[in-house]
Amino acid sequence: MTFEIIAGIVLLIINIPFGWFGMLWLGYYGKKTGKKIYYFLSAAVYVLSWVMMAAGFYLCGKEYAGVIMQYIKHYIYPAVILITAVFAIILIMRKRNKNNKEEIK
């Protein structure tokens, strides 16, 4: 395996978590702070993840890209969805807990 193929495989594997978690985290931080720059950074991270995917396809070639995409569909997508759901549940529970504490006062 050449360096280009390894770099392409790495880019294909990390682009999805990078794009989703970067977008969600920066969007959450933008909402929390009220600064709109974080929304633009969130969109920029998501676009950058697509550039990473295109670069990964280009670097590793058609043969490796097909195999990696099958791996991503079976393992990376479910992991990203699960982690995102867990974080969403945690945030909802924290918000409800905060609202309950305010009602008690």
Report mean pLDDT in 10-residue bins for the chain, 105 residues: 88 87 88 92 93 91 83 83 87 81 65
Q: Give me the number of domains the chain comprises.
A: 1
DSSP assignment letter at 36? T
Distance CA 63, CA 60 (A): 8
Q: What is the pLDDT of residue 81?
A: 85
Distance CA 39, CA 12 (A): 24
Kindly give, in sequence order, each residue whose CB lies less than 8 Å from that of residue 15, ignoring residues fewer than 6 positions away. 49, 50, 52, 53, 56
Q: What is the pLDDT of residue 104?
A: 65
Structural domain of 36:
3-104
Sign of the dihedral through C-alpha 34, 82, 78, 15? positive
Q: What is the pLDDT of residue 21?
A: 86
pTM > 0.85: yes or no: no
* Furthest-apart CA atoms within the chain: distance in Å: 64
Q: What is the pLDDT of residue 64?
A: 83
Q: What is the pLDDT of residue 50?
A: 92
Q: What is the pLDDT of residue 52?
A: 93
Distance CA 22, CA 95 (A): 21
